[in-house]
Amino acid sequence: MSGIRNDHEVARDLATEAGQHLLRLRARQGFDEPDVLRTLGDRLSHEFLFSALERLRPSDPVLSEEGVVDDPSRLTARRVWIIDPLDGTREFAEPGRSDWAVHVALWEAGDLVAGAVALPAQGSTLSTVDPPWLPGERPAEQRLRITVSRTRPPEFARRIATQLGAELVPMGSAGAKICAVLLGIADIYLHSGGQHEWDSAAPVAVARAAGLHTSRIDGSPLTYNQPDASLPDVLVCRPELATTLLASIQSCANTENSA
């Protein structure tokens, strides 16, 4: 790796290179033993990213999904890297699937400041170096598309889709789903339950840089580098849809509470 000039480039180049390692592992190992492939992929990517950040940014703690121990120094550090070495592990171990990703983000002084999402099997990396241009205004007649988990879509997302006349687009990897919004494949990413900071930090950093709305599903801010790394829900969407969506989510919650 050469020519690194700033943190945005570090995030982009490390995510891309980790993805190349994962593609080679996939080709070498094959898909006959998915559990073995998943374990090897998580470990290989974590060790590459952790070692590279230790060399390139030795003063910065790292919060990783695959970290054995949560380094408590991150809570008082000014800068922390938040990484998901392999997001969409299930899809990584399935032949033909491209909805898995590598996430690298930098949190500094209270907020995300840089990030990159590599989509190795799609041959691309979206990053804050050069955030993607959002597709132009949606045609009014076009049906809204909400991307959700392919294995555990939240029930309230189905209800909101019904309210809005939208269609659900199932997909693996939070990073791949948020990139789908960035690329105009979907309009909304909606999730509730079972996520941590590393699942959304890098894609949210890129989404913000591109001008998308990002928040929790109650509209409150997404905050990172917290003592408890659980961050269970997230909404990412085109900015002109945010007010309608948050109202729809609140309406669903009120209906559920009164039932």
Three-class secondary structure of residue 117 per DSSP: strand
Tokens linked to 258: 């009164």
Q: Are 153 and 170 in contact (CB under 8 A)?
A: yes
At 50 the pLDDT is 96
Look up the pTM and report it.
Answer: 0.94
Strand order in the sheet with 124-127: 62-64, 79-87, 101-108, 111-119, 124-127
Helix 155-164 × helix 242-258 angle, to 10°: 120
What's the start-to-end Cα distance of the chain, in Å?
A: 57
At 4 the pLDDT is 55
State the sign of the Cα–Cα–Cα–Cα dihedral 212, 240, 165, 258: positive
Burial class (CB in 10 A: 0-12, 13-18, 19+), 258: exposed
State the sign of the Cα–Cα–Cα–Cα dihedral 85, 88, 89, 92: negative
At 87 the pLDDT is 97
* Burial state string for 198-235 with b = 16 or more CB within 10 A and e = fewer than 16: bbbbbbbbbbbbbebbbbbbeeeebebbeeebebebbb
Residues in the chain: 259
At 109 the pLDDT is 96
Q: Where are the alpha helices (DSSP H) in the chain?
A: 7-29, 34-56, 89-92, 155-164, 174-182, 197-210, 242-258
Whole-number Å distance between alpha carbons of 38 and 54: 24
> Among all chains, which residue has been given the structure tokens 């919060």?
63
Amino acid at 42: D
**pLDDT tens for each residue of the chain, 259 residues long:** 544 579 999 999 999 999 999 999 999 999 999 999 999 999 999 999 999 999 999 999 999 998 878 889 999 999 999 999 999 999 999 999 999 999 999 999 999 999 999 999 999 999 999 999 887 777 778 899 999 888 877 788 888 999 899 999 999 999 999 999 999 999 999 998 889 999 999 999 999 999 999 999 999 999 999 999 999 999 999 999 999 999 999 888 777 666 6
Whole-number Å distance between alpha carbons of 12 and 24: 19
